[in-house]
Structure 1
């Protein structure tokens, strides 16, 4: 498999810097890097982005996350390995990634639960981070980026 083109963030001047700056701003809120990696992995599973699946699973392993947790991210509702804040973040990630799957993409109950687990700045960072991983997934899928290639 070969990519159709270089990733657009490498082609458009300033694009990579802008996305990296957004990620840095998100992390500066104090939100858990672990939670961010979990939601990135889940959104990437939904979107079928091999590049991001490879990268976020590897980051979780490197951080010492238990294999059973990584293995069950797609089935987090039925797995005992996730904390309340992780569950709320994963639910939000699924809602934000599957916007067209329901009439109310992010129900009030989902938003209220995630807002009870994170302060406003962290919640803002989580929302931005989920949106950003969806952007990466779409860039990689559209241009056929190859897992492990960069």
Structure 2
């Protein structure tokens, strides 16, 4: 087994104001009216796309904690072909892919996708989804840069 060594402490812990700011964002997202399971499915998908093993592990554990099935958790990696997600979840996952892969398209969030998302979620919920996706992309970039280990992430230390 290869050991990934952390390069430095997590910047959100080095700069406590950043940690508090990110916490405030996540608190707001949790109050946005999107089911916790959907927020965690979105978080897992962002982390898969960005290759953040610590976040993939963390969201796997969170999904298990809210009672998600193995089928649904594993299905996130191929959500477009998976039968385990309803239309609203599919819209959230499509938005996740679009906002995480901004450079893949000149129109990252086309009107058709926007209509699908807003068909299932109100403005407060769409706001929560967008902020969840953006915040998880932030976490992934930080964690990948410092090589946050999946088996001993800083958020589980002391």
Deviating above 4 A after TM superposition, structure 1's stretches of 4 or more consecutive aligned residues are: none
Identify the residue that residue 11 of structure 1 maps to in structure 2.
14
1:13 deviates by 2.8
Identify the residue that residue 26 of structure 1 maps to in structure 2.
29
Cα distance in 2 for residues equivalent to 1:63 and 1:86: 16
Ranges in structure 1 where 5+ consecutive residues have no aligned partner: none
1:96 to 2:99 alignment: yes
1:1-150 counterparts in 2 under 5 A? Answer: 1-150=4-153
How many pairs does the alignment contain?
150
1:2 deviates by 1.2
Cα distance in 1 for residues equivalent to 2:131 and 2:78: 23
The normalised TM-score by structure 1 is 0.97
The one-character-per-residue Cα deviations of 1:105-147 (angstroms, maximum 9, x if unpaired) are: 1111111111111110110011011000000000000111101
Ranges in structure 2 where 5+ consecutive residues have no aligned partner: 154-158
CA RMSD of aligned residues (A): 0.8
The normalised TM-score by structure 2 is 0.92
